[in-house]
A and B are shown apart, each in its own frame.
Chain A
Amino acid sequence: MAETPVRLLSVGTALPGPPIDTAALAGAFGMDQVWRQWVDTFIGTRTRHLAVDLSTGERRDSLADLGERAAVQALTRAGISAEEIDVVVLGTATPDTLMPATVNVVAERLRIDGVPAFQLQSGCSGAVQTFDVAASLLATGRYRTALVVGGDVIAKHYDVKADLTALPPDELVNYVLFGDGAGAAVLSTAGPPEAPVLRSVLTRLSGLDRAPGQILRWYGLADRDATEAPASEDYKAIEEFVPVLAEETADELLDDLGWDRAEVDYLLPPQLSVAMTGKITARLAFPAAEEVSCVAETGNNGNALVFFQLDRLLPRMTRPSRAIAVAIESSKWIKSGLALERA
């Protein structure tokens, strides 16, 4: 990492609407006991938040709304004003519009201007990718403080009138896995010594000759009647490959840092679902690490997940301590991870 350490000063998060439990989700789609039991058994997510009103289909929150709320919270917690932000990076798979990029809408709402702002088209590795880009820019010495944001709003893909009994499994799975939300963090080379240091961050494209595990399509005037599903997921490939890639990521991070597995105090594992996260955490086998997860309450909200995990980590991170986060994007397969250390 940079000679001048990059520190994580704060995290903020935002969720739309009230928590929706599985019974309410089932009821909204006319499903009953056996559907709830299946979600409880095979997914495990207890609640999720949606930017769409399930009873009316009305869209309540945009990604910019949630990103702004999360960013304001992060800035407030860091005691940093918008004028002190030197660069902004946002990661999402679901921008409000393709242009303008949502990062620039969020920046405007925060009254941030005259600085570089980048948007990454990203998935579950997006939060780590924003950290990687921001930390690299801070390491150049040209900038001091970065605001990073990540989030997703799947309202566009959430048809509240859908007949779930008529959907093929690769589309149905989207209704039971995902939720909406956004997170933000302030990174700085000028942070106080008690703030955790970003010791390592890695992102690795790992998709050579591997078909995408997840596809989100977008349509325009000419192809708006396309018959391909807007959102589909090869969940079998995801079940097979994500645990392998997660293990490779954790091992690479530990090797780079020279940390022993037993020296890690907190593990932030991939947050696909409660069931998958449990399997992956067992496989990663950090003997002394406390698991920091959010997916049971938030659902899988993609680019926001690592921010929600960091939001839970920071208040409980003792001094000294070490934490490792691993996130895997299954669209074209991206491994990512970061390491934090509090002196």
Chain B
Amino acid sequence: MAAISREEFVDLLQDEIGLAVGGDDLGRALDEVPGWDSLHLLTMLVLLEKRVRRPLSLPDFLEAASLESVYELVNR
């Protein structure tokens, strides 16, 4: 079972980080996500840590090409 479902991930991006993304946007490159920047990366990882209840490591995510990649890393 996934640590966080795809729907929960999209909700977190929309509601808690304020990104205007839907489920269809997960495959977009991070730098194509409207408004995306490194502070969003920080907020996202801190919130995901709380949600999945395990420590995450930044270097794993620096190479993530898309939100989909982030989602897969969190559920690995």
A residues adjacent to B (C-beta < 8 A)? 31-35, 37-38, 41-42, 164-165, 168-169, 172-173, 235-236
Contact B56 A236 (CB under 8 A): no
Q: Is B1 an interface residue (CB 8 A)?
A: no
Q: Which residue of A lies closest to B48 (CB)?
A: A34
With A41-B58, A168-B18 in contact, is A34–B40 under 8 Å at CB?
no
Q: Is B22 an interface residue (CB 8 A)?
A: no
Contact A42 B38 (CB under 8 A): yes
Q: Is B46 an interface residue (CB 8 A)?
A: yes
Q: Which residue of B lies closest to A167 (CB)?
A: B43
Contact B39 A235 (CB under 8 A): yes
Contact A37 B50 (CB under 8 A): no
Contact B43 A169 (CB under 8 A): yes
Chain B interface residue count, Cβ-Cβ cutoff 8 angstroms = 19
Q: Which residue of A lies closest to B40 (CB)?
A: A169
Most chain A CB within 10 A, of B39, B41, B55, B59, is at B39
Q: Is B4 an interface residue (CB 8 A)?
A: no
Total cross-chain contacts (CB, 8 A)? 46
A236 to B33: give the CA distance in the assembly, Å.
15
> What residues of chain B lie closer than 8 Å to A37, measured between beta carbons?
57-59
Contact A38 B45 (CB under 8 A): yes
A172 to B43: give the CA distance in the assembly, Å.
9
Q: When A and B form their complex, which 5 residue pairs have the shortest distance between CB atoms, in order from nearest?
A: A37-B58, A169-B39, A38-B42, A42-B38, A34-B45
Contact A169 B37 (CB under 8 A): yes
Q: Which residue of A lies closest to B39 (CB)?
A: A169
Chain A interface, >50% SS class: helix
A5 to B50: give the CA distance in the assembly, Å.
60
Contact A165 B55 (CB under 8 A): no
A41 to B41: give the CA distance in the assembly, Å.
12
A113 CB to nearest chain B CB (Å): 47
Contact A35 B37 (CB under 8 A): no
Q: Is B47 an interface residue (CB 8 A)?
A: yes
Q: Which residue of B lies closest to A275 (CB)?
A: B38
> What residues of chain B lie closer than 8 Å to A31, measured between beta carbons?
46
> With contacts A38-B58, A41-B58, A164-B46 known, what are 17 further pairs, Cβ within 8 A?
A32-B55, A33-B55, A34-B55, A34-B57, A35-B42, A38-B38, A38-B41, A41-B62, A42-B38, A165-B46, A168-B18, A169-B37, A169-B39, A169-B40, A172-B43, A235-B39, A236-B37
A23 CB to nearest chain B CB (Å): 14
- B48-76: which residues lie under 8 A (CB-CB) from chain A? 49-50, 55-59, 62
A38 to B58: give the CA distance in the assembly, Å.
7
A33 to B59: give the CA distance in the assembly, Å.
11
> What residues of chain B lie closer than 8 Å to A165, measured between beta carbons?
43, 46-47, 50
Contact A34 B39 (CB under 8 A): no
> What residues of chain B lie closer than 8 Å to A173, measured between beta carbons?
39
Q: Can you name 18 A-B residue pairings with CB atoms under 8 Å?
A: A31-B46, A32-B49, A33-B56, A34-B42, A34-B57, A35-B42, A37-B58, A38-B45, A38-B58, A165-B46, A168-B18, A169-B37, A169-B39, A169-B43, A172-B39, A172-B43, A235-B39, A236-B37
Contact A34 B49 (CB under 8 A): yes
A13 CB to nearest chain B CB (Å): 30
B8 CB to nearest chain A CB (Å): 16
Most chain A CB within 10 A, of B40, B41, B46, B49, is at B46
> What residues of chain B lie closer than 8 Å to A172, measured between beta carbons?
39, 42-43
> What residues of chain A lie closer than 8 Å to B42, measured between beta carbons?
34-35, 38, 42, 172
B60 CB to nearest chain A CB (Å): 9
B54 CB to nearest chain A CB (Å): 11
A114 to B48: give the CA distance in the assembly, Å.
60
